[in-house]
Structure 1
Amino acid sequence: MSREQRKAVDAMLRRRRPSKPQTVEEMRANFAAMMAMMAVPAGVRTTQMTLGNRPSVLVEPEQTAHPGMILYFHGGSFIFGSPETAMSLTANLVSRTGIRAISLDYRLAPEHPFPAALDDSLAAYRALLDSGVEATSIALAGDSAGGGIAVSTCLMARTAGLPMPAVVVAFSPGLDKTHSGASMDSKAGIDPLFTRESFDYTDAMYLAGQNPNQELVSPARFADLTGFPPLLLQVGTNEVLLDDSTQMAERARAAGVDVILDVTADVPHVFQAFAGVLEEADQALDRAALFITQHLR
């Protein structure tokens, strides 16, 4: 393991953590500036498009693509972020799998609180199916809030009578808006990015007074995962959201779902974005790419 690399990433994130609450505009600008520093691999090309009536970015390998499609949902606490801020993650999955990806620009809170983002994600998944893409060739993937969207999209698709995708991959997913996991407190101060108070701030904008005790908001606590596709959860031990993944993995196991809980020591939230800087990031992305290619038809 790359001890010095992990220390450098942790220090950088602590330097960037704001000392007081930010406005929505400040959060969006600062997050975009930080994610612009992440390396995007060569050998991919991007095209602006529309999917399910939302702007999206098609990410393709420059060489001939393999069959299949990755539908990607960016992170950002449902408040900030875009396909561009997640490009290092999306492009790395494309370059490692040879499979095309579409990154969805779903609506953000507080302008569009819950369930707007989830409505957009389901519409995008439905649009892929309606275009002739087989569900067995679709991988849903996302980071942070986007990881939660990937899971909730499956729940909504099942309710709507749509076929399940082939696989779900979630990087440091947010899966419990009740924040009842023990890691919310045991990792306080260890996590260089988040605190319970920071989530209280952004959750209030996203939920807009709605109850977090429901499966689309807190699937790690309330979701019925019967019939779910294979699930890969990647998370770091330095995250207050660690138990979102551990609880989700246990719920999936109890429902008879194929699940891999992939925990990396001493790395922060969405450490996979540091590909090319952090050895563990590249290794985790390699594992995620293998998981996707093994399950897509």
Structure 2
Amino acid sequence: MTAGSASRVTAKRARHPGWAAALTGLLALTLAPGATAQTPNTVRVEPDGTVHAPAMTVPVSDMLSPEARAYVAEHLVQMQQPELLAQDNGVPIFMKPYLARQMELFPHERTDTTIAGVHAYDYTPRGGVPASQQDRVLINLHGGGFMGCFPGCAELESIPLTALGGYRVIALDYRQGPEHRFPAASEDVAAVYKELLKTYPARNIGIYGCSAGGMLTGMSVAWFQAHGLPRPGAIGIFCAGATMSSAGFGGDADYFNGPLGDARMPPPWPRPAPVEGSGLPYFAGVDVRDPLVSAASSDDVLRQFPPTLIITGTRGFELSSSVYTHTQLVRLGVEADLHVWEGLFHGFFYNADVPESRQAYDVMLRFFDRHLGR
């Protein structure tokens, strides 16, 4: 970028003045030589590296498919309508059309069941599990911030993989906050896992989830290690990483991806008061650096991970954690794949009509097919 083009970028007037603290890393690169701290539309950098950026306008990425471009615009508008974020029997209102569409697209059977005392939905392809998948099973850990979204998120994460991949997928209704506290969810996953080990060898069991469920996937592997359980054959940490912060998942994305991905303000800086732990009720009083919560805080825990698939988007507020988790896994010699979708946000693949979502399903299925039972 030339000095002239950088100055033109930073001189744009924003339609959303609340974005002044966002996109710090990116905007630091656009500071024109010779600009002064007194200029209103100039990036200001403090001695400790903290960046204060002016408001700016960010269009939807032109690298997206037409369907995805419309989807991003729709999502950002929806995120500013609180009534659409409310849950109706465990299904966020804005997700209902996505769920109805998946029901049309992906033939499947669902059994309401209980395994090892844990409520679950047991999904299979319509017509039954094919012979090629009879000896393999997936456990889904749904998203929802450890405060709901069962069955909504569980359905959206499970139905495509059972219908397209032929897998039996067991989605767990694990205990959540505010009624329950850590490690209740980890205990539930371990209980179901131990029960499935009576039927499936560990190498044939895959575990995956999005958002809170992606984080819980990593937490569960750490829990298995601490309690002498064998590691599963492969895991998928989607829309998440193996780290946590008081403002999200940690790193730069806590600040610049709230506005870009979900039309919400980044956390204030400096913080109004010292903040420790997580803002999620489920983790009240828990040290977010505990390896049973943030597995990436311990090399000893992380190096024992099974093959791991990480999926995120450049607008996902988990982006930094996803990238960091992958970097640490690779550093420690763990087989790990990272797939980042340009221009897309947290949990983007819930909409099955977007080509990029279908690409994500293909990546998930190829990964589990390659690793389970190997």
* TM-score w.r.t. length of structure 1: 0.89
Distance 1:193 1:72, change over 3 A: farther
Aligned length: 290
Runs of 5+ in structure 2 lacking a partner? 1-62, 269-274
Higher radius of gyration, 1 or 2? 2
Matched, 1:7 2:69: yes
Aligned-pair identity in percent equals: 27
Distance 1:194 1:259 in 2: 31
Higher RCO, 1 vs 2 (CA within 8 Å, ≥6 residues apart): 1
AA aligned to 2:286 is: Q
Matched, 1:57 2:133: no
What corresponds to 1:260 in structure 2? Answer: 337
Post-superposition CA distance 1:109-154 (Å, at most 9, x none): 011122211111111111211x322111101011111011111111
What corresponds to 1:33 in structure 2? Answer: 93
Q: Where has structure 1 moved over 4 Å in runs of 4 or more?
A: 193-198
What corresponds to 1:111 in structure 2? Answer: 179
Aligned partner of residue 363 in structure 2, secondary structure: helix
AA aligned to 2:66 is: E
AA aligned to 1:215 is: P
Distance 1:180 1:222, change over 3 A: farther
Matched, 1:241 2:300: no
Distance 2:295 2:95 in 1: 27
Runs of 5+ in structure 1 lacking a partner? none
Q: CA deviation at 1:18?
A: 4.7
Aligned partner of residue 200 in structure 2, secondary structure: coil
Post-superposition CA distance 1:189-237 (Å, at most 9, x none): 1122665559x99834121122212122222334621221100001000
Matched, 1:176 2:243: yes
Superposed CA RMSD in Å reads 2.4
Q: CA deviation at 1:86?
A: 2.5
AA aligned to 1:185 is: Y
Q: CA deviation at 1:15?
A: 2.4
Q: How does 1:1-297 map to 2 (within 5 A)?
A: 2-18=64-80, 27-29=86-88, 31-38=91-98, 39-40=101-102, 41-65=105-129, 66-67=133-134, 68-129=136-197, 131-178=198-245, 179-192=249-262, 196-197=266-267, 203-222=279-298, 224-276=301-353, 278-297=354-373
For the 8 Å contact 1:77–1:202, the answer to whether it is kept is no
Distance 1:147 1:269 in 2: 12
